[in-house]
Chain A
Amino acid sequence: MTRRFDPTLRGMRTSTLVRLYRIRLRDHRVQELLAGSGIAVGVALVFGVLVANTSATGSAREVLNAVNGSAQLQLAARSTEGFSEQLAEKASTLSGVQDSAYLLRVNAMIVGPSGRQSIQLVGVTAGLIGFGGAATQDLGAGEAVLTGGIGLPSSVGNAIGVDGGDTVTLLAAGQAHRVSVRAVFNSGAIGALAESALAVALLPEAQTLAAEPGRVTQVLIRARPGAESRVERELRVLANGRANVVPADNELRLLNETAGPTSQSTRLFAGISLMIGFLLALQAVLLTVPERRRLIAEMISQGFDSKQMTIMLIFEAVALGLGASLVGVALGELLARTFFAQSPVYLEVAFPSANISPSISRRS
Chain B
Amino acid sequence: MSSLELREVVKHYHAGGEPVRAVDRVSLTVAPGEFVALYGPSGSGKTTLLLLAAGLMTPDAGTVRFGERDISRLSPNDRALYRRREVGFVFQSFHLMPGGTALDNAALKLLSDGWSMNKAHRAARPWLDRVGLDERLHHKPAELSMGERQRVAIARALVNEPGLLLTDEPTGSLDSKRGRETLELLREICHERGIPAVLVTHDPQAVGVVDTVHTLRDGHLGAGLDADLEVVWK
Contact = CB atoms under 8 A, between A and B. Distances in A.
Interface of A: 6, 8, 11-13, 15-16, 19-20, 23-28, 294-295, 297-306, 308
Contacts, number: 81
B111 interface: yes
A273 B6 CA distance: 58
B98 A27 contact: yes
B175 interface: no
Contacts of A27: 97-99, 140
Nearest to A16: B111
Q: What is the interface of chain A mostly: helix, strand, loop, or mixed?
A: helix
19 contacts: A12-B111, A12-B112, A12-B114, A16-B111, A16-B116, A23-B100, A24-B97, A27-B140, A28-B99, A298-B95, A301-B56, A302-B109, A302-B112, A303-B84, A303-B85, A303-B109, A304-B80, A305-B77, A306-B80
Contacts of B113: 11, 303
Given A6-B116, A13-B115, A302-B112, 15 more contacts: A13-B116, A19-B104, A20-B111, A23-B99, A23-B100, A23-B104, A26-B100, A295-B97, A301-B91, A302-B89, A303-B81, A303-B83, A303-B84, A303-B112, A306-B80
Nearest to B54: A301
Given A6-B116, A301-B56, A302-B83, A24 B99 contact: yes
B87 A15 contact: no
Nearest to B80: A305
A8 B83 contact: no
Contacts of B115: 13, 16
A305 B76 contact: yes
A27 B80 CA distance: 27
B114 A8 contact: yes
A301 B108 contact: no
Interface in B95-131: 95, 97-100, 104, 108-109, 111-117
Interface string B143-165: 00000000000001000100000
Contacts of A303: 80-81, 83-85, 87, 109, 112-113, 160
A301 B111 contact: no
Interface string B48-76: 00000010100000000000000000001
A11 B112 contact: yes
Q: Give the top 4 A-B pairs by smallest Cβ distance, nearest first.
A: A303-B84, A27-B99, A26-B99, A305-B80
Given A11-B112, A20-B111, A301-B83, A294 B95 contact: yes
A11 B80 CA distance: 12
Contact of A300 (B56, B85, B114, B140): B56
B97 to A, nearest CB: 6
A23 B114 CA distance: 18
